[in-house]
Amino acid sequence: MDGLTRLPNPNPPAASGWRQRTLKTAIDCVGVGVHSGRRVNLAIHPAAAGHGIVFRRTDLGRDIPAHFDNVTDTRLCTVLADPAMPSARIGTVEHLMAALSALAIDNALIELDGPEIPILDGSAAPFVFLLDCAGSVALDTPRQVIEIRRTVRVSAGEAWAELRPLVPAARGADPVLQIDLSIDFTAPAIGRQSASLRLTPDSFRHDVAAARTFAQAQEVDQLHAAGLARGGSLDNAIVVDGSAILNPGGLRMNNEFASHKLVDAVGDLALAGGTLHGRFVAHRPGHGLNNRLLRALFADPTAWNPVETDPLVAAA
């Protein structure tokens, strides 16, 4: 591949982060789409090296690669569609994509018989649990790693998002995605919050995966009137009314709102087509801004570089 470089690898046997991974075995679940309210059967299958993450609408017989170029809607979630058949859509992919990315699963075939990934409890934690149950295995192929070489920024009003190069001191044996973001809502129950994470399986699993999606009470009626959020409930979303949290159990963590925005960002950035090695910094990010950022990154060939350290080659 033209322009391909190799990052130093001082300890090849331990550099498993540079190897592609897939599941050890298939796993499935059943749930409800948050917007359609439809029951959805979902199955995640192992796939060969180089396959990538591909969604299959079994009811339509269409495959849709998980890639930023296939994002067609970002208003309430991230929606992928088949370019050759735009009506073949898959919504709310971000939580499952975040779990796959955080657990370093590069290759999987995801089958579902409806237009949405099940919302489950509104967080990425159930998907992490499923993937942990299935287990994963390293493949004899290097990962596709995308190193950020120059800062790229997009904005919309007061909201903005950047991908920045990592300073040399932040680099380690494995590719790294550092995430730092803040949010600012007028609702007192949310207000201003921030969340930061150096993305690893353990940090994602223990620090942010359980953070749930959220909405304000006045938005719920509007969504229902528009025929949306038919599957939404207090069992799969935090609902805020001014300074009140309407969920009987309250919050799972002090910064759950910002942490969920971080989960969304991990899932949206997982559509890059490779593992990002850099830093994501944002204020008031959303699905649309995250997708615009990836499009801006790949529109500028000077802003990124494909890199590779193949432990098999390095150890030979």
Burial of 215 (0-12, 13-18, 19+ CB in 10 A): middle
Tokens, residue 44: 């995640």
Q: Two tokens at 181? A: 């973001």
| pLDDT mean over 210-225 | 86
Among 228, 32, 259, smallest CA distance to 124 is for: 259
Domain annotation covers residue 44: yes
Which whole-number Å values give the CA distances from 185 to 147, 216, 217, 258, 285, in the listed order?
Answer: 33, 10, 14, 11, 12
Q: Model pTM?
A: 0.91
**Among this protein's residues, is 51 annotated catalytic?**
no
DSSP secondary structure string for all residues of 110-161: EEESSSB---TTSSSHHHHHHHHHH-EEEEEEE--EEEE-S-EEEEETTEEE
- Is residue 6 included in any domain, yes or no? no
Residue 7 falls within a domain, yes or no? no
The CB density around residue 202, as the number of other CB atoms within 10 Å, is 8
Q: What is the CATH number of the domain that holds 228?
A: 3.30.1700.10
pLDDT tier, 308 (very low <50, low <70, confident <90, very high otherwise): low
The residue among 115, 117, 118 whose CA lies nearest residue 89 is 115
Any domain includes 91: yes
Nearest to residue 32, comparing CAs of 216, 247, 287, 230? 230
Averaged pLDDT of the chain: 90
Whether 29 is in a domain gets the answer: yes
> Where residue 12 falls among pLDDT bands split at 50, 70, 90?
very low
Q: Express each pLDDT in 230-278 by its tens digit.
A: 788 899 999 999 999 999 999 999 999 999 999 999 999 999 999 999 9
**What CA–CA distance (Å, rounded) separates 265 from 258?**
11
Please choose, from the candidates 185, 170, 165, 151, the residue with its C-alpha nearest in 3D space to the C-alpha of residue 285: 185
Evaluate whether residue 120 is within a structural domain.
yes
Domain range for 76: 12-315
Q: Is there a domain that residue 1 lies in?
A: no
Please state the domain count of the chain: 1
- Position 304 in a domain: yes
pLDDT at 66: 98
